[in-house]
Amino acid sequence: MSNYKIESLTKILNSTLITDIYPMVKKIQVDKLEEDELSSYMHLTILVDNDITHDNMYEKEFDPHYMVEYHVKNLLPYVSVNTNYIGWDVYTTDGKYVSGYDLVGGSVFNPRDRYYKPDEDGNKSY
C-alpha cells in the first residue's frame, strides 16, 4: 500500500475530528493497510491517557470498538481507503495494554472475531 494513504490517514485520525470526541486519545498509528479486490485489512494502535484501563474505559466514555467502527470508518473515504476489516490495540501512553480486537483464523470470507484484554501483568492476552 502506498505510504501517502497511510500518512494521510494518520493525519486525519490524529486531528481534532477524533480527539474532540475522545479527548483521552493521544495518538492513533496506522500499523498496517492492505487493500485488494477480494478483501482489505487495516490495523491501528491507539494510545490513550494513563488513567484508562480495561475496567474503567466505558466509565470514562471511551469505547474503542465504536470509535473505530463508526468514527474511523466514516473518515476512510476522504483518503480513498476502502477496508472491510479493522483490527486495533489500545495502550496507555506508558505502555500498559488496555484492549484490542482483531480477526483471526477462518478464511478471508469468514474470519473469526477475537477480543483482547490485559493479563495481570498488563500484557496483551485473550
**With left for phi above 0 and alpha for psi between -120 and 50, is residue 43 left, alpha or beta?**
beta
Of 4-8, 69-73, 111-115, least confident by mean pLDDT is 111-115
- Going from the C-alpha of 52 to that of each of 3, 5, 23, 63, 99, the distances in angstroms are 31, 30, 12, 11, 10
104 has a pLDDT exceeding 70:
no
Strand partners, 90: 46, 99
Could you tell me the fold of the domain covering 3-125?
Answer: GMP Synthetase; Chain A, domain 3 (3.30.300)
Structure confidence by residue, pLDDT tens digits, 36-93: 766 678 899 999 999 999 999 999 999 999 999 999 999 999 888 888 788 999 999 9
The DSSP bridge pattern shows strands 85-92 and 40-48 to be parallel
Q: Find the mean pLDDT for residues 12-38.
A: 90
Q: N- to C-terminal Cα distance for the chain?
A: 30
The full set of domain ranges for the chain reads: 3-125
